[in-house]
Each structure stands twice: as structure tokens, then as C-alpha cells.
Amino acid sequence: LARADLSDANLTRANFMDANLAGADLSDANLTRANFTDANLAGADLSEATLSVASLYRANLAGADLSEAYLVFAKLTKTNLTQADLTGASLVEADLWRANLTQADLSGANLTATNLLWADLTQADLTGADLGSASLPKADLSGADFTGADLSWTDFHWLEGTGAKADDGTVWPEG
């Protein structure tokens, strides 16, 4: 299935466990409740795809395009999202425990109430992202950019000493 064109397909509840979908086109596809456990989706196009309640446990999405994707309640535990494009993606209440988001672009993404415990956000771009009520304890925020991000009600360790960036437009938790 590498480089397959599955754009606009209805693949609700499809099982892609251990599948090689590297470079595949899944843009605009309905992948609600699909299983991508241990799948290789490196460089795949999942832009504007619906992946609500999908399981992407330990999947490889390095360099994948997930811009404007709908990942509400998705399970992305231990997922490799290195250099992935998640601009404008909706990750509300998604589970990104121990996910690798090194150099990922999450600008304008909605990460409300998302679990980012132990996630690696090294040099991630979170400009203008909504992280309200997100959980970031133990996350690696080294060099991450929170310029203009909403961190209200967010649970995380202080950015000081991490090299993370913020500005006057960054909304901080109260207290």
C-alpha cells in the first residue's frame, strides 16, 4: 500500500495494523476508528483526513502531512511525528503520551485537553496553538515555540531554562 491513492475514501474502522503506507495519499479520507497500530505512514498525506478515535499507537508518521486533520480522541501513544505537519489540526482530547513531535509544525492546532505527558516537543512550532487544559508534565519543551499560544489551564513545568519561546500574546495559566 506504499504510495497508494486512498484520497477521499471511506475507510471507517479499517485495520491497517503493521501496514506500509509510506507516501500514501489519504487526504480527505474518513478514517474514523481505523487501526494504524505499528503502521508506517512516513511522508503520507493525511491532510484534512478524519481520524477521530483512530489508533495510531507506535505508528511512524515522520514527515507526514496532517494539516487540518481531525484527530479528536485519537490515540497517538508512542507515535513518531518527527517533522510532521499538523498545522490547524484538531487534536482535542487526543492521547500523545510519549509521542515524538520533534520539529513538528503544530501552528494553529487545537490541542485542548490533550495528553502530552512525556512527549518530545523539541523545537516544535506551537505558534498560535490552543493548548487550554492540555497536560504537559515531563514533556521535553526544549526550543519549542509557544508564540501567541493559549496555555490557559495547562498543566506543565515552567518553560524557563528550556530555550522555549513565548511572547506577550502567549496566554499563561492563572497562578
Each residue's pLDDT tens digit, 28-68: 999 999 999 999 999 999 999 999 999 999 999 999 999 99
Residue 174: per-residue pLDDT:
78
- Asked whether residue 132 carries a pLDDT value surpassing 90, the answer given is yes
The model scores a pTM over 0.85: yes
Range 130-146 average pLDDT = 92
The band of 161, judged by pLDDT with boundaries at 50, 70 and 90, is low
Least Cα distance to 69 among 22, 113, 105 occurs for 105
User: How far apart are alpha carbons 125 and 18 in whole angstroms?
Assistant: 29
- Asked whether residue 127 carries a pLDDT value surpassing 80, the answer given is yes
Percent of the chain with pLDDT over 90: 86
Other residues' Cβ atoms within 10 Å of the Cβ of residue 160:
7
**DSSP string for residues in 108-125:** T-B-TT-B-TT-B-TT-B
Other residues' Cβ atoms within 10 Å of the Cβ of residue 157:
12
User: How far apart are alpha carbons 92 and 113 in whole angstroms?
Assistant: 6
Q: Which three cell numbers stand for residue 55?
A: 489508533
In degrees, rounded to 5, the angle at the alpha carbon of residue 169 between the alpha carbons of residues 168 and 171 is 100
Q: Which three cell numbers stand for residue 130?
A: 490552543
Residue 158: per-residue pLDDT:
59
The chain-wide mean pLDDT, for the chain, equals 94
